Amino acid sequence: MSIKRSLKQGMACFAAALLASCTGGETEPDPDKLVIYSSRHYDSDYALYKAFEEAKGVTVEVIEADGDLLIERVRADGASNPPDVIITVDSGRLWRADQEGLFAPAESEFLNERIPASMRHADGHWYGLSSRARVIVYARDRVDADALAGYESLADPAFEGRVCARSSGNIYNISLLAALIDRWGETRAQDWASKVAANFARAPQGGDSDQIRAVAAGECDVALVNHYYFARMARSEEDDVSGLAVFWPEASPGVHVNISGAGVASGARNPELALSFIEFAASDEGQRLFPELTNEYPAVTSVSYSNDVLDAMGKFTADPLSGSVIGGNQELAQRVFDRAGWP
């Protein structure tokens, strides 16, 4: 199954959707119901579902499952309640879902025009909707920003006993290393991972927020995290990150980003409606929700949004490496981590 829509048609459909009058191609008894399986559970997504329901006059049913469990949920429930759209987080999981045959090829000039090539599958199996930059958070009073040069800084002997990071089994770290393998080669990437592990202030534990809190508490001086955890904490009254700052690693080729993306599910009952939803998510209205409600960066870089914390963090260049390449290096990255002794 291949779904095609021209840029002109996509723009027209989106404009009509705002008037609740654009209809997609229906294939099954309930053409006004869109079934989404998602590993995301954020305010931006719920707002997106509601906006799409109101714009299209349809019902959105969402089935959620964390991380890699989403694939198992699709397998378990897909026969009785087939998904129309599958949404998941990180290039690695998008790649895994695609390897399992969960996505149908879909073509949309509207999406191809708006979503950078590095953030979409070459054959339209999935399209990135938002991204999280993998950054270094550091304590202002204990680390001179001039001592940080990039991801390689975490391997510097000067940071012995001063680094916090999640486990090697974490998908964000796997995808980062997969990108570094492509950038540096396997040998250098393994040397980096070994030296970073030797610099740990403590054994990897917890999530990205825990790494940031550890820096704030003085347990370590630098941490490898996704930017949006820091932004979320900075906008919250529960955490004090005023003594911390974000360092953007790698001016060239750019900072590694984790992609959240969506694809039309293979076996979708309403494939045209599914594609219409993804286009809606890539519209200006949909894209603004990600930075404003979830502190992620929109896939469409030209979109204007309001988020003072993201603005204060400054601009950065994203690594243009294809998410499919990152996904293809996943297994090798895990082996490199294992050999490097990164728990």
Q: What is the pLDDT of residues 57-73, one digit of tens each?
A: 999 999 999 988 999 99
Strand 163-164 versus strand 222-226 pairing type = parallel
Total number of domains constituting the chain: 2
d(CA 281, CA 261): 10
pLDDT tens digits along 172-197:
999 999 999 999 999 999 999 999 99
Considering the domain architecture, whether residues 208 and 321 belong to the same structural domain is answered as: yes
Q: Worst-scoring range by mean pLDDT, 65-69, 151-155, 174-178, 232-236?
A: 65-69
Q: Verify that 194 and 101 share a domain, yes or no.
A: no
How high is the pLDDT of residue 2?
41
Q: Which residue has the higher pLDDT, 238 or 11?
A: 238
Q: What are phi and psi of 324, to 5 degrees?
A: -70, -35
- 8 Å CB contact between 208 and 166: yes
Instruction: Please say if the pLDDT value at position 29 is more than 90.
Output: no
Asked whether residue 116 falls in the same domain as residue 140, the answer is no
Determine the structural domain holding residue 227 and report its residue range. Answer: 132-256+312-340
Domain match, 122 and 80 both: yes
Identify the pLDDT of residue 7. Answer: 41
301 plus 323 within the same structural domain: no
pLDDT of residue 220: 98
Residue 73: phi and psi, rounded to 5, are -65, -40
Q: Examine the domain organization and report whether 121 and 216 are in the same domain.
A: no
Same domain (yes/no): 163, 218: yes
Q: How confident is the model at residue 118 (pLDDT cuts 50, 70, 90)?
A: very high
Tracing tokens 């550091």 back to the chain, one arrives at 138
What CATH number is given to the structural domain containing 323?
Answer: 3.40.190.10
Residues 109, 140, single domain; the answer is no
* pLDDT of amino acid 250: 86
Band (pLDDT 50/70/90 cuts) for residue 78 is confident
| pLDDT value of residue 259 | 96
**200-204 average pLDDT score:** 98
Q: What is the pLDDT of residue 67?
A: 83
Question: What pLDDT is stored for residue 79 in this prediction?
Answer: 86
Helix (H, G, I), strand (E, B) or coil at 163: strand
Q: List Cβ<8 Å contacts ≥24 apart for 338-342.
A: 338/168, 339/190, 340/168, 340/190, 340/193, 340/194, 340/197, 341/194, 341/197, 342/167, 342/168, 342/173, 342/193, 342/194, 342/196, 342/197, 342/204
163 - beta bridge partners? 200, 222
Q: What is the pLDDT of residues 31-45, one digit of tens each?
A: 999 999 999 999 999
Mean pLDDT over each residue of the chain, to the nearest integer: 92
Cα 5 to Cα 136: distance, rounded to the nearest angstrom: 40
Please, are residues 92 and 260 in contact by the beta-carbon 8 Å criterion?
A: no
Tell me, yes or no, whether 219 and 316 share the same domain. yes
pLDDT in tens, 81-103: 999 999 999 999 999 999 999 99
| pLDDT higher at 1 or 190 | 190
Q: What is the mean pLDDT of residues 311-326?
A: 95
For residues 180 and 235, what is the distance between their CA atoms, to the nearest angstrom? 31
Structure confidence at residue 16 (pLDDT): 41
Regarding whether 252 and 138 lie in a shared domain, the answer is yes
Phi/psi at 207 (5° precision): -100, -170
CA distance 278 to 264: 8
| DSSP character string of 239-267 | ---TTEEEE---SSS-B-EEEEEEEEBTT
Cβ–Cβ under 8 Å, residues 127 and 111: yes
Examine the domain organization and report whether 267 and 155 are in the same domain. Answer: no
Please, is 44 exposed, middle or buried when counting C-beta atoms within 10 Å of its C-beta (0-12, 13-18, 19+)? buried
Looking at the fold, whether 204 and 321 belong to one and the same domain comes out as yes
